[in-house]
Amino acid sequence: MSRLAADEAEILTIVVDPTFRGHRIGHRLLEAHFETLARRKAKIVFLEVDESNGPARNLYNRQGFMVVGRREAYYRNRDSSATAALVMRKALN
Ligand SMILES: CC(C)(COP(=O)(O)OP(=O)(O)OC[C@H]1O[C@@H](n2cnc3c(N)ncnc32)[C@H](O)[C@@H]1OP(=O)(O)O)[C@@H](O)C(=O)NCCC(=O)NCCS
């Protein structure tokens, strides 16, 4: 799920059923979504990801996103600790 304003898109969430994770569905969902966004004239995609979310960070790194910002103590965890949000950016071709 994403939102689009002018030529900038923001990915709000991506989720794969836990049973099917690790089978490149995340990669395929993102690639299909980038095609849709490009057709709608998006040029840049942003997102925020929890620094501690290894699978999501792997996915975004492999899809060409670069870290362009960091928001300290952005996510509050159940144990009341906090983790940073990384702001990531990717240019669409
Ligand atoms: C993030 C998510 C969408 C990835 O979906 P997926 O279908 O499992 O992803 P893929 O199989 O396409 O793999 C994406 C990358 O993550 C890696 N990965 C998958 N599971 C992993 C795990 N448990 N730990 C570390 N890396 C993992 C894969 O190896 C792959 O990296 P690679 O291309 O270098 O091999 C899925 O884990 C998910 O739904 N997580 C919960 C929701 C969430 O955190 N969404 C992101 C919010 S910003």
Instruction: Give pLDDT tens digits for 12-25.
Output: 999 999 999 999 99
pTM score of the predicted model = 0.94
Report the alpha-carbon distance of residue 41 to residue 92 in Å, rounded. 9
Centroid of ligand 1 to alpha carbon of 27 (angstroms): 8
Phi, psi at residue 44, to the nearest 5°? Answer: -135, 145
64-83 per-position pLDDT tens digit: 999 999 999 999 989 999 99
Q: What are the extents of the domains in the chain? A: 2-91
Is residue 92 within 6 Å of ligand 1 at its C-beta?
Answer: no
Structure tokens at 63: 């899809």
pLDDT confidence bin for 50, thresholds 50/70/90: very high
- For residue 50, the SS3 value is strand
- 36 in Cβ contact with 11 (< 8 Å): no
Ligand 1 pocket, 36 CB below 6 A?
A: no
Residue 21 C-alpha to ligand 1 middle, in angstroms? 7
CATH code reported for the domain at 2-91: 3.40.630.30
Residue 93 has pLDDT above 90, yes or no: no
How far the first Cα of the chain sits from its last, in Å, is: 20
Q: Comparing C-alpha atoms, which of 74, 29, 27, 26 is closest to residue 50?
A: 74
